[in-house]
Structure 1
Amino acid sequence: MTATAVPTRRAHRRPLVGSNVFLLILTLAFLAPVAWALVSAFKPAAEIISDPLGLDLRGLTLDNFRGMFHDVPIGSGFLNTAVVLVIKGAITLFCAPLAAYAFAKYDFRGKNAIFGTVLLTLMLPTIVLIIPLLLEMKQLGWVNTYQALILPGSVDAFAIFWMRQVISAVPDELLDAARVDGCGEFGIFWRVVVPVIRPGLAGLAVLTIMNIYNDFVWPVVVASSSKMATLQVVLSTLAQNITGHKVGADYATVTGELLAASSIALVPLLILFIVLQKHFINGILAGSVKG
């Protein structure tokens, strides 16, 4: 029996090794441009153009970062993004699970029709909603304000659907036991449901942060003022800002400062994903449960 088991184990290991090698190659292919951008941001501007793949550790400099901070209002972009991220993310992570809890654990007239309508909004492209939302913001006097950046889309259909799938897996016996103990309906949600669905909430938090951080179309439409521009809007106008502050700025200077700004913008998301990778994967698995 032992003699026949060894070849079987080796046969199972070969596909596993092949898969790991393929995934390693794929990972390197995806990370290579990111690594090049991060390293090139520290190279002299002229060297980025003349020797893009070369690296001289003795020639590394912070000149690109100094010039970028002088020419580009990236600090205000980070601040506006942070404000929108904290407030809009908090609204999403509080209201979406509440709505999902009602759809998952309560029976009321028209529940399926209402939930179906919510899901139908997922089929609408963002570009279709921009003009109506912009007109609404103009009527409210919210153009170039935090309200316009935060409130539209703060509770989206995907977040409600995601959390409904997660909450549907919570046993009804837990909720009934809490009601017998005299716990109120919101108390049941806060003290019983929320601790159980933490993996799903963590996954939703990561996706929400990434979506808000990378959002460009809506902020560039509703926040045309440079004072209210978010980070992605600032990054989109980098070349204009650099050439506007430096008369006769050459291509190498613009490229170096672009790489410096892009590297700074990339670091927060990399740190977020590395720190919350385990929670993100667990959240994805939690959100895949059928309701």
Structure 2
Amino acid sequence: MTGTLLRPAATAAASIPPERRPRKTSPRIGSHAFLMLLLIGFLAPVAWAIVSSFKQPNDIIRDPLGFDVTTFTLDNFTAMFQDVPIAHGFLNTAIVLVVKGGITLFFAPLAAFAFAKYDFVGKNLIFGTVLVTLMLPTIVLIIPLLLEMKTLGWVNTYQALILPGAIDAFAIFWMRQVISAVPDELLDAARVDGCSEFGIFWRVIVPVIRPGLAGLAVLTIMNIYNDFVWPVIVASSEQMATLQVVLSTLAQNITGNRIGADYATVTGELLAASSIALIPLLVLFIVLQRHFINGILAGSVKG
């Protein structure tokens, strides 16, 4: 009887012409519009800096928002490479990035594996202490670390740029969350097959947590690449300056190497250097975008 009563209503609804049916407003239109506005707001300064780096220095000051294709020039880039040791800054940053990033991506998951899959005395206390270090501001640790580097004789060396903060507390916490989601049955099966504990980590854990490891790699590279406070303090010499330190002293280097360099010249070369410094991170994020998003989702698993 219920089906008999409902059938006429369904038939009546189906008989309404499509143009007279009420249209459902999708909430995605508003959210997409809002996201587009955010995208424009974030990308507009970057796009302006890149476009302006190809303009004549005087045109940057005279007409900041305009761009004439006929005035396209590479003079800012050519002069910047002559006045600023940006290539040496790139080299120092690359060395620190490879070594420090490698230490982080190897030892942080290894420590997280111990916290996630083993029970030992003081486990919660040690892990709690690791989490407490996340609450300490970086400025609080600078003076003790600098005194330690001075005692060891590591000031203005790669050791001082690489070792402090190489095994990050956040990296251990994130990888613990990822590894906690790995089923214990996989580990038990590997032990039955005679695999060692390190073999379990390398052959079982690492392949499974690859998305989370890729996300951690992107964040680690970005943090090391953009780090400024610690390198400018512990590596003050021009020979050990990283890219961010070179960019911070760019205006001084330009005015010191070129007599009569005006504000427009400094601005043009600064925009050129900033555009070049942006390229590695931009390429990295475009290439690893899918892995980064998957890693973020993997790191959100509750352990």
* TM-score above 0.5, yes or no: yes
Which 5+ residue runs of structure 2 have no aligned equivalent?
1-9
Q: 2:111 aligns with which of 99, 103, 107?
A: 99
1:248 alignment partner, SS class: coil
Residues 1:56 and 2:57 are matched in the alignment: no
2:102 alignment partner, SS class: helix
Matches of 1:217 and 1:9, distance apart in 2:
59
Q: For residues 9 and 31 of structure 1, do their structure 2 counterparts lie closer, same or farther at Cα, with a shift above 3 Å needed?
A: farther
Partner of 1:11: 24
Letter in 2 for 1:257: E
Q: 2:168 aligns with which of 149, 156, 169?
A: 156
2:238 alignment partner, SS class: coil
Residues 1:27 and 2:42 are matched in the alignment: no
Residues 1:71 and 2:83 are matched in the alignment: yes
1:155 alignment partner, SS class: coil
- TM-score by structure 1 length? 0.97
C-alpha RMSD of matched pairs (Å): 1.4
Q: Deviations over 1:236-259 (max 9, x none)?
A: 001100000111211100000000
Letter in 2 for 1:175: L
Q: 2:289 aligns with which of 265, 269, 277?
A: 277
Matches of 1:151 and 1:11, distance apart in 2:
58
Moved over 3 A (4+): 1-4, 6-10
- TM-score by structure 2 length? 0.93
Q: 2:246 aligns with which of 234, 259, 262?
A: 234
Partner of 1:185: 197
Matches of 2:123 and 2:241, distance apart in 1:
39
Letter in 2 for 1:104: A
Q: For residues 45 and 102 of structure 1, do their structure 2 counterparts lie closer, same or farther at Cα, with a shift above 3 Å needed?
A: same
Matches of 1:224 and 1:51, distance apart in 2:
37
Which 5+ residue runs of structure 1 have no aligned equivalent?
none
Q: For residues 41 and 191 of structure 1, do their structure 2 counterparts lie closer, same or farther at Cα, with a shift above 3 Å needed?
A: same
2:175 alignment partner, SS class: helix
Q: 1:134 aligns with which of 122, 138, 146?
A: 146
Q: CA deviation at 1:11?
A: 2.1
Q: CA deviation at 1:9?
A: 9.4
Q: Deviations over 1:42-82 (max 9, x none)?
A: 00101000111111111110000011001001000000000
Matches of 2:270 and 2:24, distance apart in 1:
49
Matches of 2:164 and 2:263, distance apart in 1:
38
Q: 2:218 aligns with which of 206, 220, 240?
A: 206
Residues 1:262 and 2:269 are matched in the alignment: no
Letter in 2 for 1:17: I
Q: Deviations over 1:61-114 (max 9, x none)?
A: 000001100100100000000000000000000000000000000000000000
Letter in 2 for 1:128: V
Percent of aligned pairs with the same amino acid: 80
Matches of 2:48 and 2:212, distance apart in 1:
34
Matches of 2:283 and 2:70, distance apart in 1:
27
